[in-house]
Amino acid sequence: MTDPDQTDDPSATDSTGSASAGSALDRLASVNLNLLVPLLALLEERSVTKAAERVGLSQPAMSHALARMRRLLGDDLVVRQGSGLTLTPRGAQLIAPLRAALRQTARVVNFPAFDPCVDPRVITVAMTTSTAFVIGPHLARLLGQRAPRATLRLRTISVPTEATFTEDGVDVVLLSEGFSSPHPRERLYDDRIVVLASRDAPAEATALDLLRTQPHVVVDTERRVFPYAALDEMGVDHRVGALVSDYLLVPYLVARSGGVALLRYRVATTMRDLVDLRIEEFPEKLPGLGIDMVWNPHLADQHFVGWLRRLLLDAAHAICRGG
């Protein structure tokens, strides 16, 4: 929608800007604003069927609404690609402003505030697979108790981008403090690096002995796992015995095939409930690896944000209480 306070024609406004505002509103009056809700649903779902179900329209009515918006905006918005739909560049650009405009409209018409007892919304939390392994079960259990009609969607990502919030509709990202973010962040829980070994490793061996003598299981990534820089500074020689593509494979391989690894404490203790592991503290103090909450900057419902923040903090408390 055009900003009513801006125009390319200086003759269209007076000192108060009322002429420009009036012309913009006149143009807006010719647009069926009822189309904006199904349009946003379609852009987010990328499926005519799912979007229709979400807003309570029939599939033909949704297709008709799409045709009208295509004519209005002069763009296809979504196009068929293989068995699904993909967004045109214009369609992708519309998601964030549409979402912001409709949320603001909802506040104007005074829709009921978020009520966890009855709200059926999808709550989306993004994090790495290993963080989801740690906090996911606690989060799902608490959500089921406190918001029985809501759906928890866990999105596993490596590093968030702006599209994580705009196109993917993520409410909050759980981000390691080692990664930067342009948005404000708040600590959810602390973590640290520990040394993992199998129960078959020599019982008398210290953590430093294990790091020097046992083959290492290491995540194969372009970014060097930072504790290994600390090992180099300590002059600790080590040998890599296995490279894996997923952090969750590391403790499993160590437990079942031997060796040693460096991993987050919270992941290690959670995995220890499934496989037999020996956990030792790293021989020197390292910078922390806490997990932070980074909120979608476009979220307008602060009541919902406060509720979800409390849910996450309670899930984190359950983790920390366990060890």
On whether the CB atoms of residues 287 and 193 are closer than 8 A, the answer is no
Ramachandran assignment for 59, one of left (phi > 0), alpha (psi -120 to 50 degrees), beta (any other): alpha
The reported pLDDT for the residue numbered 28 is 65
The reported pLDDT for the residue numbered 173 is 97
Q: How many residues does the chain have?
A: 323
Distance from C-alpha of 253 to C-alpha of 38, rounded to nearest angstrom: 48
Residue 197's DSSP bridge partners are 260, 278
For residue range 97-114, list pLDDT tens digits in order.
888 888 777 766 665 678
The reported pLDDT for the residue numbered 8 is 38
81, two tokens: 């690609």
For residue range 128-184, list pLDDT tens digits in order.
999 999 999 999 999 999 999 999 999 999 888 888 988 888 999 999 988 889 999
pLDDT beneath 50, residues of the chain: 1-18
Distance from C-alpha of 111 to C-alpha of 258, rounded to nearest angstrom: 58
Return the SS3 of 2. coil
Going by C-beta distance under 8 Å and a sequence separation of 6 or more, which residues neighbour residue 145?
none
Domains of the chain: 31-108 (1.10.10.10), 122-190+290-321 (3.40.190.10), 193-281 (3.40.190.10)
Nearest to 192 by CA among 84, 296, 320: 320
Distance from C-alpha of 30 to C-alpha of 23, rounded to nearest angstrom: 11
The reported pLDDT for the residue numbered 221 is 79
The reported pLDDT for the residue numbered 127 is 96
